[in-house]
Amino acid sequence: MRNGRGALVCLLAVLMPTLALAHAIGGKDAAFVAATSGPAALPFAYLGAKHMVTGYDHLLFLLGVIFFLHRLRDVALYVTLFSIGHSLTLATGVAANLNVSSYLVDAVIGLSVAWKGFDNLGGFRVLFGVQPDNRLVVLCFGLVHGFGLATKLQDLHLKPEGLGVNLASFNIGVEMGQLLVLSFLVLGLAILRGLPLFMAASRLSNAALITAGFIIAGGQFAGHVLSGSAS
């Protein structure tokens, strides 16, 4: 067990800078969006898929959501609730140009990761004697994650020409990327459950989710404070 904890600490030390920064759209992708005027369905679908596949915060939350789900129909239910939530706020946030601090939204996304790890360890039942309705929790956090996606697109100052098509394509790409990663996560968890060390690994994994979630949240809160000081 000591070796497992040591490995967890080393892993988090390596991942800390990446987790704190979460993910953003930049470089050539940002330049492409800035130069695009009019519908560009396939490039925006690719951009959405790439954003989800590299979105550590979203993927960590999804890992927590499906960690103890044994049946595919349960996985489908929770992922659908998450998708409904983030699709609604992604579309609303961009179309209505809702100005939400990306740092604060990403901080809440980090806390959603910590929440799910804590819930998976039975924290709410043990400490508070209650068990939140995870269907409602996943839907609500899906709304928050959608605002996170929206803020990334808003930072790119999308042009109004072709906005509807590009926004819909981006969201489709997000769903495709999500399904791709989920297929690997579901397979990996199915294999892990068949091993004798699953329960020990599950405790370490969910403790890692809690830690990673607070690292993400702390990094984003710090970014919010520093951005305010610089302005």
Local structure of residue 11 (DSSP, 8 states): H
- Tally the C-alpha atoms within 13 A of residue 198's C-alpha that lie toward its C-beta: 11
Amino acid at 10: C
pLDDT at 23: 58
Measured CA to CA in angstroms, residue 125 lies from 54, 61, 66, 70, 178 at distances of 33, 20, 19, 21, 30
Alpha carbons 188 and 67: distance in angstroms, whole number: 10
Question: For residues 57 and 144, is the Cβ–Cβ distance under 8 A?
Answer: no
**Structure confidence by residue, pLDDT tens digits, 40-78:** 899 899 999 998 998 889 999 999 999 999 999 999 999
pLDDT-based confidence at residue 16 (cuts at 50, 70, 90): very low
Alpha carbons 174 and 30: distance in angstroms, whole number: 17
**Structure confidence by residue, pLDDT tens digits, 144-157:** 999 999 988 888 77
pLDDT of 10 strictly over 80: no
pTM, two decimals, is 0.86
